Amino acid sequence: MSRGRVAWVFNLDAEDELARGGPHTPTNVMRARVQSLMPQLAALMLAGDEVLWPPGAPLQHARVGLAWCPTPWALEQLRRAGLEVPEAPDPAVLRKVNHRQFSNDLGQALPGARFVHTEAALREALGDEPVLERVSSERNWLLKRPLGYAGRGRRKIGSGPWSPADRTWIDAALKTGDGLQVEPFVTRVLDCALHGEVTVDGSLRLGEPTRSIIDEAGTWVSSERAGPSDLTAAERETLVHEAQVTARALGAAGYFGPFGLDAFRWRAPDGSTHFQPRCEINARYSMGWAVGLGSS
């Protein structure tokens, strides 16, 4: 990475802002959460970089701002601090490309996965028991809200009757009219990612595949460069190709900036393993971005 010194806004709750639209104020809990992640986020910072948000020491040298995701709130923080605000995609574009519908439109890759908007369609998807039996060792489905992050906005659900808590969660999710990603809950045996950057002129810079450590709730814990034995040659090739396709789709949608593509290897109940080359598109910085793009 080479650029001048910047002041960062680490708005890790960007998806919340994009989901709600309108005015945004990060919660105190979110601020504390981001502060606790500063040791890991420091990987994105170059020597001399400073942090505007979460607030800490006053800025010393930085004249230019940079955001985790250039949402209206993040850009406003940069403006208020008198920093040069970088060119950024339109907020509607940010919302579109980070929305799971965007990934759905590139094609679902996991058997039985669908993006639904209504309870009827959801029930229909959850009724696909023959597929669930072949794919999910736990015989569970995973529901994902369209603009979730860090394992938030997900719910594991069985194929039987819904519990009251399921009902409440599903009602709240569908009420927004934004839809839900439904996919079988599969046994993941390797989480990985490929990060890159689409420039304003549409050119693409890709990093090296990373291996991610993800906890039970789907939250990122750490990333490291994938070793030669982590991914098979075919998986690596598929992942790179998928990232190239995704980057072109991002560019065509009007997005430019950093992005990450999460992927995983999964094991079916019959013991066979498969590769899911696109489970999340993060059109923003992400925790493993510097690991994949860095020089080390």
Partner 1 sequence: MSAQPPLPAGTVERWAWDFICSTDLAQKLAPPPPPTQWSHPSEPHLIAAPGRPPQLVAREKKKKTPKVQLTARRAEVIHTFLHHELQAAELMAWAILAFPSTPVSFRRGLLSLCRDEIRHLQLYRDHLETLGHPFGTFTVNDWFWKRVPASSRADADQAPTAAHFLARLGIAFEGANLDHGARYTAAFAAAGDARAAEIQAQIVEEEVPHAAFALHWFRELTGDVAFETWRQYLPAPISPAMARGTPLNVEARLKAGFAPEFLDALAGWDAGPAGQK
Residues near partner 1 (CB under 8 A): 101, 104-109, 111-115, 117-118, 120-121, 124, 128, 130-131, 134-135, 238, 241-242, 245, 248-249, 252, 268, 270, 272, 274, 277-278
Q: Identify which of residues 124 and 171 has a Cβ nearer to partner 1 in the complex.
A: 124
From the CB of 146, what's the least distance to partner 1, in Å? 13
Q: Identify which of residues 61 and 248 has a Cβ nearer to partner 1 in the complex.
A: 248
Q: Identify which of residues 131 and 150 has a Cβ nearer to partner 1 in the complex.
A: 131
Burial class of 58 by CB neighbour count within 10 A (0 to 12, 13 to 18, 19+): exposed
Phi, psi dihedral angles at 285 (to 5 degrees): -70, 160
Distances from the Cα of 51 to the Cαs of 46, 61, 77, in angstroms? 11, 11, 11
From the CB of 208, what's the least distance to partner 1, in Å? 20
Q: Identify which of residues 88 and 113 has a Cβ nearer to partner 1 in the complex.
A: 113
From the CB of 104, what's the least distance to partner 1, in Å? 6
Burial class of 130 by CB neighbour count within 10 A (0 to 12, 13 to 18, 19+): exposed
Q: Identify which of residues 25 and 272 has a Cβ nearer to partner 1 in the complex.
A: 272
Q: Identify which of residues 68 and 259 has a Cβ nearer to partner 1 in the complex.
A: 259
From the CB of 245, what's the least distance to partner 1, in Å? 6
From the CB of 21, what's the least distance to partner 1, in Å? 17
Q: Identify which of residues 145 and 278 has a Cβ nearer to partner 1 in the complex.
A: 278
Secondary structure (3-state) at 34: helix
Euclidean distance between CA atoms 206 and 17, whole angstroms: 27
Phi, psi dihedral angles at 209 (to 5 degrees): -55, 145
Euclidean distance between CA atoms 275 and 292, whole angstroms: 19
- Closest of 253, 254, 276 to residue 263, by C-alpha: 276
From the CB of 173, what's the least distance to partner 1, in Å? 17
Coarse DSSP helix, strand, coil percentages of the chain, rounded to the nearest 5 percent: 35, 25, 40
Euclidean distance between CA atoms 74 and 64, whole angstroms: 13
What residues does 50 pair with on adjacent strands? 7
From the CB of 194, what's the least distance to partner 1, in Å? 13
Euclidean distance between CA atoms 154 and 181, whole angstroms: 9
